[in-house]
Amino acid sequence: MQVRSLPVVQNWDGHSCGDCCRSYAVPVTADERRRIEAQGWEKLPEFAGVPYFVKRGGEFFLNHRADGGCVFLGLDKLCRIHGKFGSAAKPLACRIYPFLLVPAGDHWNLGLRLACPSAADNKGRPLTEQLHDAREYAAFFESTAAPGALTGPPPALQGRQVVPWGDVARIAAAVSKLLADDAEPFERRWRKVLFVVATLKKAKFDGGGDPKKAVTAGRLSELLHVLGEAAGDDEPDTAEEVKRPGWAGRTVFRQLVAVFSRKDHGAEKGTAQRGPLRRFVSAVRFATGCGVVPKVHAALPDAATFAAGEVSLGPLSDTSVSLLARWHRVKVESLQFCGAPNFGLAVWEGLESLALTFPAAMWLARVLAAGGRTPDAAVAQAVRMVDDNFGFNPLLGSARQKFALRVLANRGDLTRLVAWYGRTQ
């Protein structure tokens, strides 16, 4: 299938920071294990007695050294497999990161994980120049996937309400346009999107069985445009005019933030994640929202309190706004927010789950800024931490977290959270 890059301008190239080689548990297939075992690393003294792989839950992963780095990561932060045998000799997971390939009917959408510092900083060549590599990865997935697994129907809008792939793309394009609107504060862009989503959740698209009345193709684009305009009239102009989220909403939100902030493995693993007792204490603290924020990620400051998460960062700089907009537009345009890439969430729920990452990142940025980071550095770090979990932390796909998201959306707290944590005063 063809690989399509995104309309949003996003750049990336590896800058040899070695972050991903210290952060992730990299899965390796039997073929990849055989290939690496035949590379002769055991002849080097530093590999004496060092297993290349560890087995967890029936799966093999690259082993890590005591400093948290992959056993093949050199002191120069470069991959030794890549250096000696070339990129193709590495496990596929290493080669493909931070790209994401999302099947979208008859093509792939090329997405990107902004958990990678170079992706968050927009450093490197445009993604449009990297389609050659992406096609190679896509060909591999096509050759290993079960027949029909990649060309299935699109994710439902909700329940059993399914529209063609082209209409899902129209919805994504309309949402991306709202998120790109530089004339609006970023939080208000999301409130407008949530207004459109809430309205369309009540709509039927099939015209009651009459194809002439079906809301599809151009008619859908028109409806999305009209609703976007109506959102501008309906949503209060400033975040300060929006009601504060209720106690219950903030309690549920903090528990979701705990999941979005955490790192469970690698060099950035939080100390609060070490052992069941610490994890329990950490969960209780996030539920109560009192005292010092548990260090669920190594990047969190030692003594920042939950109170710091309620103090505004002030107006966001153009740099931070452009990062937030690029981040979310990449997720929307690639369709990473729904379907298989996001735990099977339907389209509307997927957009709500993505909306939640905005207040989550802003809360986190406030806590990071309380530890001494500049607001821009805090926002960039927060985006990387939240994106690391979005669509990948299995806890976010659990029935409990999906229920929590539904509660926030249905009570109207999601919009209030967007405004509350997006306010500048």
Provide the binding-site residues for ligand SF4, judged by CB under 6 A.
21, 26, 62, 70, 72-73, 79, 81-82, 90-91, 94
Least separation in angstroms between CB 269 and ligand SF4: 16
Q: Whose structure tokens read 């002849």?
A: 43
Least separation in angstroms between CB 88 and ligand SF4: 12
Q: Residue 42 or residue 241: which is nearer to ligand SF4 going by CB? A: 42
Residue 247: which H helix or E strand, with range? helix 247-261
Least separation in angstroms between CB 60 and ligand SF4: 13
Least separation in angstroms between CB 389 and ligand SF4: 19
C-alpha to C-alpha distance for 383 and 359, rounded to whole angstroms = 11
Least separation in angstroms between CB 42 and ligand SF4: 16
Q: Residue 90 or residue 188: which is nearer to ligand SF4 going by CB? A: 90
Those residues with Cβ within 8 angstroms of residue 191's Cβ, 6 or more apart along the chain or in another chain: 231, 235, 242, 415, 418, 419
Least separation in angstroms between CB 21 and ligand SF4: 3
Q: Residue 21 or residue 168: which is nearer to ligand SF4 going by CB? A: 21
Q: Residue 91 or residue 249: which is nearer to ligand SF4 going by CB? A: 91
C-alpha to C-alpha distance for 194 and 409, rounded to whole angstroms = 9
Q: Residue 14 or residue 289: which is nearer to ligand SF4 going by CB? A: 14
Nearest to 401 by CA among 310, 283, 275: 283
Least separation in angstroms between CB 80 and ligand SF4: 7
Least separation in angstroms between CB 71 and ligand SF4: 7
Q: Residue 78 or residue 230: which is nearer to ligand SF4 going by CB? A: 78
Least separation in angstroms between CB 64 and ligand SF4: 9
C-alpha to C-alpha distance for 157 and 350, rounded to whole angstroms = 9
Largest CA-CA distance found in the chain, in angstroms, rounded:
73
Three-class SS of residue 70? Answer: strand
- C-alpha radius of gyration, the chain, whole number: 22
Q: Residue 29 or residue 161: which is nearer to ligand SF4 going by CB? A: 29
- Are 385 and 393 spatial neighbours (Cβ–Cβ below 8 Å)? no
Q: Residue 26 or residue 114: which is nearer to ligand SF4 going by CB? A: 26
In the numeric block, which tokens belong to residue 182? 């530089």
Least separation in angstroms between CB 76 and ligand SF4: 11
* Crossing angle (nearest 10°) for helices 347-370 and 247-261: 80
Using alpha carbons, list the distances in angstroms from residue 132 to 10, 135, 376.
Answer: 16, 5, 33
Using alpha carbons, list the distances in angstroms from residue 237 to 250, 271, 336.
Answer: 23, 41, 29
Pairing of strands 53-56, 107-112: unpaired
The DSSP result for 287-304, as a single string, is: HHT-SBPP-SBTTS-SS-
Q: Residue 73 or residue 396: which is nearer to ligand SF4 going by CB? A: 73
Nearest to 97 by CA among 80, 117, 81, 83: 117
Q: Residue 92 or residue 215: which is nearer to ligand SF4 going by CB? A: 92
Those residues with Cβ within 8 angstroms of residue 93's Cβ, 6 or more apart along the chain or in another chain: 24, 26, 27, 28
